[in-house]
Every structure is written in structure tokens, then in C-alpha cells.
Amino acid sequence: MKKILIACLALTCYIVSYSQLTAPPFGGNKKAMVGERIGITDVTIHYDRPGVKGREGKIWGELIQKGFTDQGFGTSKAAPWRAGANENTTIEFSTPVNIEGQALPAGKYGFFIAYEPEECTVIFSKNASSWGSFYYDPKEDALRVKVKPKPLDKSVEWLTYAFTDETNSGATISLTWEKLQIPFKVETDYNNLQLESFRRELRSEKAFNPGWQSFNQAALFCLQNNVSLEEGMKWSEDAINLPFIGQKNFTTLSTRAGYLRKFNKEAEADALMKEALNLGTMNQIHGYARQLLQQKKPKEAFDVFKVNYDKNPNEFTTQVGMARGYSAIGDYKKALGFAQKALPKARDNVNKLSVEKMIKTLQEGKDIN
């Protein structure tokens, strides 16, 4: 019995010594995660946030030593900073990316920085599971890049990672702490990644639900970004004609007409848009007429505004449309009449103020478009 009790006590001590209750990270640091989608690429950073805690002027070059150092523990004799606190910082990319112009495959990486006042070395390691940088091995580097640190006017208490300068194809990720920022640029091959995603998803259940919308979305992407136009044109055809999926409506016909114009088939595009107008809603037709105005096609825009008005003569939208249409062709008197007719039907104060501004502009003999 005594032996059993001793064995139980030993097992209890083992469990206690190797179990941890949920509590804040060691040293009063804060666990954090930040992520963002760049185009269709997900970027996620996990890190622990140390605080300055009254150590202004003693962080960079002292607490965070320069370059690669022997930390007196682990196997590494020349370790970079772990770019955070406690366990090592990790960064994950769902697709291949370029870091400061250099290629990095998709994956999860240990993230380290070798700090120098003039130029820092940012390191992406294939080892994302070790503690800190005590076991850092340069043989596991996936990529190293050089970046310039930037001084800050105000001190940042808690170490922070943030995304700035975002576009569909890139962003700048910055580590900011105390009075220093260490930025690096991430870029993606957005157009090709998006096309690859469309090709894959249009062979999945997403091609059937919501059906024509998916093919039209892919076609419109190619048209708007001027990429893979032959493929996009085929998708525009599928959005209209594919069995069980395709649908002839204002949206699909408009996209198809856009491709015809892209390939200089203006007469065919015009004929298709006349067909589309018969299928469009009041707001769709009004939007198309506004597009024609932006394309500097006032006569064509007027004709579309007129079609919409003839179908919906008592609506605020179509009356405003006629005001824009007549203004575009220089008939400010008739434009003013329609604007005054539309004013009492304004649905909210924003629309009311907009029409009042139109009326004033037309009374001054100026175009409202």
C-alpha cells in the first residue's frame, strides 16, 4: 500500500510539473495574432508582445542586441532576435509571395530579425515550432532579406505588427516597438492567383450555386483587369448559354457586350445592349446610362435614360436620369424641368441636397454631369 501511495504521489508531481493552467504569458507579455487577406492570399502572424516598461532608450542595441548573438542557451551560438517574446514568432502565407522582391513559397515560417541600426536582416525559417531563437539554425532559412529600420517620433509601448499600404497585390508589414519601425513589403501575383482560383472553383460546386453569377464574376474580373481575355470571353459565353447554369439577363449580356467592345465589335455590342435594356431593372439601366456618361458618350447616354424614363415615368431615379441626359446634350432648360420635377420625390436629405445642387447648377447654365 505504501509503495502504491508513493507511486501515486510521484505521478501527481510529474503531472503538475508538466501541466500549465491557462494564464497570461510569462513576464507580463501579451499573446497576439494579426492577419490580413492580400488579394486572395491570407497572411497570419502569431507573436508575443513585450512592453517597453520604462526602458526607453535601452531597447534597441541593448535588450535587443545587434546582429547574431550567443544567448547562452540552446544549440545556436549565433542567434537572431525572435521578433517578439517567449515562443518564436511565426508568419504564414496561404499562397506563394514575394518578400522585398524575393520569392517565398506558401507555408508557415519562424520569423526572426537580426537588428542593426542601419540595416536589419529579416529571416523566414522553415522551423516554425522551436522556442524562441535558442535553436536557430541558418541551414533552415527559407529566405533572408535586408530592410531599413525607420525611427519614430513617439514611443510605442507594446510591440505591434501591422499591415499598411494595402492593395490587392501587396502590403507592407511593419514591426513597431519603442521608437523604431522595421517594415518589409509583401507582394503577390494577384491576377494569376485569382485566375487559378477561378479555374479550380468553376469545376466545383461553386459553378452550380449561384450558377451564372460565378461565371459572370470570373468573366468580369478578366475584362476589368485586362487579363486572359480569351478565357474571360469564354466564361462570359458560359454565363449566358451553359446548360442548367447560363442565364440571359442584363448582367450577363452587359458583360458579354463589354468583351465585344474590347475586341472592337461595336455594332454587335450595341445590338446586345439593346437586348439587355429590355431585361434590366430601373436601377441597372440608370447605372448603364451613367457609365456611358463617364465614357463621354452623351447621345448614347441620353437614349438609355429616355428608355428608362419611358418605362418608369413617375420615378425619382428616371426623372433625375432625364435631367442628366438633357444636360449632357446641352439642353439645360429641359434638364432643369426634370430636376425640379424630381425634387419633391427625393427619398432622403442626401438626395434632396443633390437635386437642389443640380437645379442651381442648371440655372447657372452649367452641365450637372
Write out the chain's pLDDT in tens, 369 residues.
434 333 333 333 333 444 467 666 666 778 999 999 999 999 999 999 999 999 999 999 999 999 999 999 999 999 999 999 998 999 999 999 999 999 999 999 999 999 999 999 999 999 999 999 999 999 999 999 999 999 999 999 999 999 999 999 999 999 999 999 999 999 999 999 999 999 999 999 888 877 899 999 999 999 999 999 999 999 999 999 999 999 999 999 999 999 999 999 999 999 999 999 999 999 999 999 999 999 999 999 999 999 999 999 999 999 999 999 999 999 999 999 999 999 999 999 999 999 999 999 999 999 999
Residues, the chain: 369
Residue 7 belongs to a domain:
no
The pLDDT of residue 2: 38
Q: What is the reported pLDDT for 89?
A: 97
Q: What is the pLDDT of residue 211?
A: 82
Contact status, residue 26 vs residue 48, Cβ threshold 8 Å: no
Instruction: Tell me whether residue 294 is in a domain.
Output: no
The residue among 127, 160, 188 that closes a domain is 188
> Half-sphere exposure (CA, 13 Å, Cβ side) for 66?
5
Q: Is residue 177 domain-shared with residue 39, that is, in the same domain? A: yes
Say if pTM beats, i.e. exceeds, 0.85. no
Residue 359 has what pLDDT? 96
Backbone angles phi, psi at 198, to 5 degrees: -60, -45
Does some domain include residue 359? yes
Domain-terminating residue out of 188, 214, 248: 188
For 251, the domain range is: 189-280
Domain count along the chain: 3
Last residue of a domain, one of 243, 264, 280: 280
Same domain, yes or no, for 333 and 247?
A: no
Q: What local confidence, expressed as pLDDT, does residue 23 receive?
A: 66
Res 335: pLDDT: 96
Which parts of the chain are beta strand (E)?
A: 30-38, 41-49, 89-93, 97-99, 102-104, 107-114, 120-125, 141-147, 150-164, 170-187
For β-strands 97-99 and 89-93, DSSP reports them as unpaired
Residue 355 lies in a domain: yes
Greatest Cα pair distance in the chain: 107
Q: Find, among 187, 180, 182, the residue nearest to 166 by Cα.
A: 187
170 and 46, same structural domain? Answer: yes
pLDDT at res. 30: 87
C-alpha cell at 284: 441597372
